[in-house]
Amino acid sequence: MKGVRKTKDLLYEQVARIGKVFSSPKRLELIELLCQGEKTVDTLAREASISVKLASAHLRELRVASLVETERQGKNIRYRLAGKAVADLWVKIHNLAEDRLVELQLALQKIAVQPDSLVPSDRSSLLKAARKGDVVVLDVRPAEEYLNAHLPFARSIPLTELRQRLDELPKDRSIVAYCRGPYCLMAIDAVELLRKEGFKSAHLRDGVAEWELTEIR
Amino acid sequence: MKGVRKTKDLLYEQVARIGKVFSSPKRLELIELLCQGEKTVDTLAREASISVKLASAHLRELRVASLVETERQGKNIRYRLAGKAVADLWVKIHNLAEDRLVELQLALQKIAVQPDSLVPSDRSSLLKAARKGDVVVLDVRPAEEYLNAHLPFARSIPLTELRQRLDELPKDRSIVAYCRGPYCLMAIDAVELLRKEGFKSAHLRDGVAEWELTEIR
DNA sequence: ATATCAATCTATCAAATAATGGAATATTCA
DNA sequence: TGAATATTCCATTATTTGATAGATTGATAT
C-alpha cells in the first residue's frame, strides 16, 4: 500500500512538470509567440520585453519539459513548439482563464474596441464573407508569422507598415484585423488606426492557434 | 508604448493563475478526485493521502482561481469542479504530459498490466462489445462515484468489495476494468486480482473524464 | 449553553523559483 | 588565428510556495 502512494506521487509529479511551465506569465507569453512559428532567442526576448538571459532561462524550462525543440541555424538557435498539442493547450488554458476569472474578463473588456455590428462575428459567416470578398481579413503580425500560417483568405500588412500601406485597403468594405490572439494588442491598434482613417474595421480576437482549435469541434 | 506592456503583463498574469493551479502534484490529484464528483474536504484529504489542513489549503487555491465551487452541507463542506471545462483541461494536460515526457511514459509502462489481445482496445468496438454483452465493463471506483457518472454499460463493483463479489462476474466473458483514470491504480489492482482468480480481464486506462473528452472529437 | 466535529485561518520554516549580472561556450566572419 | 555575435551556464538575491502546527470559526447534537 505504501508503494502505491509513491508510484502515484511520481506520476502526478510528472504531470505537474507540464503545469509548472504554464504557471509563469513570461513563459506563457513565450509560448504564445512560439505559436506564431519558430523564432530565435533574441527575437523572443525582444517581443516579450525581457532580457535574452531571462528568455533563455525560461526557454530552458520549456525544453526540459520537452515542449519545445531547438535547432541551430548559423549563429542563432531557433526554438519551435514540439507539436500542435502544445499550442492547443495554451489556447485551452487561456480559454478556461477567460471563462473563470472575472478579473481577466474585465481587463479584456477594458481594452476591447467597440464591435462593428455590420461585420459577421461568428466563424462561418465571417469565412463566407471573406470568401466572397465582402470583408478583408487582415493579418497585422510580422510578415514572417503570416508566411508561417494565417487565417483563410487573410492578407498581410504588418502593423508597423499599416500607416504607409493604407492605400492597399478598400474603403467600401469592412476590414477585420487579427493578430496573435486575445492578448496581443496589435489588431486592436490596427482597428483604431483604420477607423481614425475612415475605414470600416472590426477586431477578431482569435489568432491562428485559437482559430485552428475551435475549427475542429 | 509603456502602457501596452503593463496591460499585457496583467493579462498573462491572470492566465498564469490558472496554470499555477495545475503546477502542484497534490492539486492535480485533488482535481482528478473532483472529476469523479463532488466530495468533502475530509474525503479528498483521505483519498489524496494528505492532511485535512493541507487539502484545505490546496482547495483554497482552487477556489481563488474559481475552478471549484463549495457548498455547505450540514457539518461538511462539499467541493465540486466549476464546470466541465476544468475536467477537460486536466485531461488535456495529462495527455500532453504523457505525449511529451519520456519519464512519465516509462513510469506508466512499469505499472501497466499485460494487455489482453482478445479484448477490443479501441473505443467503438469496446462499446459495441459491451452493448452486445460480449465484455463486462467494470467500474471499480467507490459506488458514489459510479452513481455520479460512469461509462456506458458499466457495472459497479468497488475494488474494496471485489474479492467478496467475484461470483457476480462471468468466467466466460472478458471483464474490462476502469477507475478514475491512468493515475488511479485501482483498475490495475482489479485486473490482477481477477486474473489470479481465473477471469479473463483487461485494463482500460481512461476514466469518465478521459472518455467523455475523447468521445467528442 | 457547551461539547464536538469539520474546516479554515494565521504563523512559520524550508525549499523552489524568477530575475539579474558575470563568466563561459559555440559559431561565424575577417 | 582571433574578433564578434548569439546563447547558455553559473552564482546570487529576493520572492513565492508547500507543508506543518496552533488557534479560530461555524454548525450540530446533547
Q: Which nucleotide is nearest to A25 (CA to C1')?
A: C18
Q: Name the nucleotide with the smallest C1'–CA separation from B9.
A: C18
| Spatial distance between the Cα atoms of B165 and A128, rounded to a whole number of angstroms | 60
Q: Which band of pLDDT confidence, cut at 50, 70 and 90, is reported for residue B217?
A: very low
* Whether B135 contacts B119, CB under 8 Å: yes
∠A105-B93-A87 over CA atoms, to 5°? 65
Rounded Cα–Cα distance for residues A64 and A18 (Å): 10
**What is the residue whose three cell numbers read 488511479?**
B184
Please state the separation of Cα A55 from the chain's center in Å: 18
Residues of B in contact with A111 (CB under 8 A): 7
Number of A to B CB contacts under 8 A, please give it.
Answer: 153
User: CA A199 → C1' C12, Å?
Assistant: 61
Cα dihedral value B97, A70, A85, A91, nearest 10: 110
pLDDT score of B23 more than 50: yes
Q: What is the CA radius of gyration of chain B?
A: 19
pLDDT over 70 (residue B216) = no
What does the alpha-carbon distance between residue A73 and residue A76 come to, in Å, rounded to a whole number?
5
Give the tens place of pLDDT for each residue, B170-186: 999 999 999 999 999 99
Answer yes or no: B35 catalytic. Answer: no
CB B11 within 8 A of CB A104: yes
Given a contact cutoff of 8 angstroms between Cβ atoms, the answer to whether B101 and A66 are in contact is yes
Query: Considering chain B, what is the average pLDDT of its residues?
Result: 95
The gap between B20 CA and D24 C1' (Å) is: 29
Is residue A166 exposed (0-12), middle (13-18) or buried (19+ Cβ within 10 Å)?
A: middle
Shortest distance, CA A68 to any CA of chain B (angstroms)? 10
Nearest to B211 by CA among B80, B146, B123: B123
What was the pLDDT predicted at A121? 76
pLDDT along chain A (217 residues), means of 10: 87 98 98 98 97 98 97 95 97 98 96 86 90 96 97 98 97 96 97 97 96 73
Q: State, as a whole number of angstroms, the distance between the CA of B86 and the C1' of D16.
A: 25
Residue B118's CB is within 10 A of a number of other CB atoms, namely 9
Is there a contact between A151 and A139 (Cβ–Cβ < 8 Å)? Answer: yes
The residues in A 60-89 lying below 8 A from B, measured between CB atoms, are: 65-67, 82-83, 85-86, 88-89
Report the C-alpha gap between B94 and A17 in whole angstroms. 10
Query: Cα–chain-centroid distance for residue A118?
Result: 25
Selecting from B24, B103, B182 the residue whose C-beta is nearest the C-beta of A16 gives B24
> What are the tens digits of pLDDT across the range B140-178?
999 999 999 999 999 999 999 999 999 999 999 999 999
Mean pLDDT of B112-132: 89
Q: Which of A18, A101, A107 sits opposite B93 (nearest CB)?
A: A18
A153 touches chain B (CB under 8 A): no
> Half-sphere exposure of residue A71, counting CA atoms within 13 Å on the CB side?
6
Angle between helices B2-21 and A25-34 (to 10 degrees): 100
Burial letters for A104-125: b for 16+ Cβ neighbours within 10 Å, e otherwise? beebbeeeebeebeebbeeeee
Residues in reach of strand D, judged by a CB distance below 7 angstroms, are A 40-42, 52-53, 55-57, 59-60, 70, 75-77; B 20, 23-27, 50-51, 53-54, 57-58, 61, 72, 74-75
pLDDT in tens, B49-81: 999 999 999 999 999 999 999 999 999 999 999
Query: What residue spans of chain A are helical by DSSP H?
Result: 2-21, 25-34, 41-47, 52-64, 84-100, 102-111, 123-132, 143-148, 159-162, 186-196, 208-216
Query: How far is the C-alpha of B140 from the C-alpha of B156, rounded, in Å?
Result: 6
Judged against a pLDDT cut of 70, whether residue B111 lies above it is answered with yes
How close, in Å, is residue A29 to chain B by CA atoms?
A: 7
Euclidean distance between the first and the last CA atom of chain A, given in angstroms as a whole number: 42
Please tell me which residue in A62, A87, A137, A179 is annotated as part of the active site: A179
